[in-house]
C-alpha cells in the first residue's frame, strides 16, 4: 500500500468537511436573507397602507361633520358605511373617548379647562377622533381637557 494513499484520503476528507461547512454557511446566509426580505416587504406594505389610510382621514372627517350637522341621505349613508367597513378591514381603528385620561402620545389638546376637583388631566370633549393601524399612530385625537391648575 502506498503511503500517500492515506494522506490523500485525509486531505480529501478535510476538503470535503471544509466545503460542507462552506455550503452550510452559505445556506444559512441565504435563509437569513430570505427572512429579512420577507420582513422588509411586510414593513413596506404596512407603511404603504398607513400612508393611504392617512390620506383618507379627511374623507372620514367630512363624513363625521356631515353626520353631526345634517341627516345623511340614504346614498351618502351607504357610502359612509362602506368606506368605514373597508377601512376597518384594512386595520384602521378610531380611538378617543370622553373621560379618557389625557396621554400626550395619543392626544393633542386644543383647550385646557382648570377644575379644582380634578386630580389629573382628562379628555372632556373629543373635537376630532384619532386613528391608528395596529400600534402605528396615524393621527392623535384632538381633545379638550380638564384638569388641575398649576400646583405650587
Q: Kindly write down the DSSP assignment for every residue of 18-29, as one continuous string.
A: HHHHHHHHHHHH
Predicted confidence (pLDDT) at residue 150 exceeds the cutoff of 70: no
Q: In this predicted model, what pLDDT tens digit does every residue of 86-134 receive, in sequence order?
A: 999 999 999 999 999 999 999 999 999 998 888 889 999 999 999 999 8
Whole-angstrom distance, CA of residue 9 vs CA of residue 16 = 10
pTM above 0.75?
A: no
Whether residue 152 has pLDDT greater than 50: no
> Under CATH, to which class is 92-152 assigned?
mainly beta
In angstroms, the Cα distances linking 127 to 26, 55, 139, 141 are: 57, 19, 13, 8
* Domain residue extents for the chain: 92-152
What pLDDT digit, counting tens, does each position of 58-91 carry? 999 999 999 889 988 999 899 999 999 999 999 9
Which of 94, 84, 85, 103 lies closest to 128, judged by CA?
A: 94
Nearest to 114 by CA among 147, 90, 84, 91: 147
How does pLDDT run across 3-22, given as a tens digit for each residue? 678 888 899 999 999 999 99
**Three-class SS state of 134:** coil
Amino acid at each position: 500500500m502506498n503511503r500517500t494513499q492515506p494522506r490523500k484520503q485525509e486531505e480529501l476528507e478535510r476538503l470535503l468537511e471544509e466545503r460542507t461547512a462552506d455550503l452550510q454557511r452559505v445556506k444559512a446566509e441565504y435563509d437569513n436573507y430570505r427572512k429579512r426580505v420577507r420582513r422588509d416587504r411586510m414593513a413596506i406594505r404596512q407603511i404603504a397602507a398607513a400612508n393611504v389610510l392617512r390620506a383618507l382621514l379627511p374623507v372620514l372627517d367630512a363624513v363625521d361633520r356631515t353626520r353631526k350637522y345634517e341627516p345623511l341621505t340614504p346614498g351618502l349613508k351607504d357610502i359612509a358605511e362602506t368606506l368605514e367597513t373597508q377601512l376597518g378591514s384594512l386595520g384602521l381603528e378610531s380611538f378617543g373617548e370622553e373621560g379618557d385620561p389625557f396621554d400626550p402620545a395619543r392626544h393633542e389638546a386644543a383647550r385646557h379647562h382648570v377644575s379644582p376637583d380634578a386630580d389629573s388631566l382628562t379628555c372632556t370633549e373629543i373635537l376630532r377622533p384619532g386613528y391608528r393601524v395596529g400600534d402605528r399612530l396615524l393621527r392623535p385625537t384632538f381633545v379638550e381637557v380638564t384638569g388641575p391648575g398649576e400646583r405650587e
